[in-house]
Structure 1
Amino acid sequence: MSTPTLATALPAGAVKIATDPSTEPFWLAARERRLVAPRCADCGRFRLPPSPFCPHCQSTAVDWTELSGRGTVYTFTVVHGFPGLPDITLVPAVVDLPDAPGARLVTNVIDVDPADVSIGTALTVDFHPVSDGWLLPVFRVAGSPVPGPAVKERA
């Protein structure tokens, strides 16, 4: 019996983060290993991805709300191979965030056998290093052990 290939995130150098005034608070919080979401200061609705104005009321007023890091799989796919990385397995997912009703985050589920992911799977946030010192929010199956530093620092 073979060992299943675990899903991972893309290597650090394969992901570039570009910020603007609407997205920078999200990325700065991620750099501190915190998950945040913009909430309209006028109508109270959450929005992800961050945008310069609320899509519901068009207000530009925003409050950044720290989230618990819990989520559930709304939908996902499994990708075997990536251009230039034929042996990689990815599980891109859209994650519902219970602390931010109506907001969903596009991310990756990591360190899991893809066969163990399904719609509704409970997740917790983690952060994966990417280029230029940024950290990318990724998710793990809730309750799964977090690998030691040697695994987390892989490129």
Structure 2
Amino acid sequence: MLLPVPDEDGEPFWEYAARGELRVQACGSTNCRQLRFPPRPCCPHCGSFASRWQLMSGRGRIWSYVLPHPPLLPAYAAVAPYNVILVELSEAPRIRLAGNLVRAAGEPPNSVDPTRLRIGARVQVVFSSAGDGFALPQWQLERL
């Protein structure tokens, strides 16, 4: 399994994920408050360097997906074919997070039958312990 390599701006995302929280960086300016992802030091909307981390519901929909054949990453060769999905967050449709659709937290990325993948399917975030204090966001269908 590949572990994230957080930078200074993205480190809080991983700290919250380790606690089972999906949070997205937001502008800290009272005149803006726009959500942004990936995290960065400056708001692309207003230029403010103020920021905060807003709790998300963890709900979204599959915006896109792919089934890599052969596996693009050697660390995932044993679970190929596997899915990689792009999830549009319910509260922030401009923000899309990548991950895997799984039956339950911690399941491998090939645990869902590929015929169940559908653009627009509603999903909910779950977190899988990845060791070294990391938890990876994964996605589960809202209706199994």
The TM-score bracket by the shorter chain reads: 0.7 to 0.9
Residue 83 of structure 2: aligned partner = 91
Q: Give a deviation string over 1:49-85, Cα, whole Å, max 9, x none.
A: 1111112222211121111110101111112442362
What is the CA distance between 1:106 and its match in structure 2? 1.5
**Equivalent residue letter for 2:18:** R
Residue 18 of structure 2: aligned partner = 31
Pick from 22, 36, 56: which aligns with 2:45? 56
Instruction: Point out the more displaced range, 83-92 or 126-135.
Output: 83-92
Q: C-alpha distance in 1, partners of 2:48/2:78? A: 45
What is the CA distance between 1:47 and its match in structure 2? 0.9
Q: Give a deviation string over 1:82-103, Cα, whole Å, max 9, x none.
A: 2362542321111111123421
Pick from 68, 71, 77: which aligns with 1:79? 68
Q: C-alpha distance in 2, partners of 1:117/1:103? A: 20
Q: C-alpha distance in 2, partners of 1:79/1:54? A: 34
Tell me: CA distance 1:21–1:86, structure 2 relative to 1, closer, same or farther (3 Å): closer
Instruction: Point out the more displaced range, 67-76 or 41-50.
Output: 41-50
Residue 102 of structure 1: aligned partner = 94
Q: C-alpha distance in 2, partners of 1:80/1:101? A: 29
Q: C-alpha distance in 2, partners of 1:101/1:40? A: 16
RMSD of Structure 2 on Structure 1 (CA) = 1.7
**Equivalent residue letter for 2:41:** P
Q: C-alpha distance in 1, partners of 2:122/2:40? A: 27
Q: C-alpha distance in 2, partners of 1:143/1:17? A: 29
SS of the equivalent of 2:13 reads helix
Q: Is residue 107 of structure 2 the alignment partner of residue 120 of structure 1?
A: no
TM value normalised by structure 1: 0.76
Are the counterparts in 2 of residues 81 and 87 from structure 1 also a CA contact under 8 Å?
A: no
Q: Which has the higher contact order (CA 8 A, sep 6+)?
A: 1
Q: Which runs of 5+ in 2 are unaligned?
A: 104-111
Q: C-alpha distance in 2, partners of 1:75/1:24? A: 26
What is the CA distance between 1:133 and its match in structure 2? 2.5
Residue 4 of structure 2: aligned partner = 17
Q: Percent identity?
A: 34
Q: How many residue pairs were aligned? A: 131
SS of the equivalent of 1:74 reads strand
TM value normalised by structure 2: 0.82
SS of the equivalent of 1:54 reads coil
**Equivalent residue letter for 1:103:** I
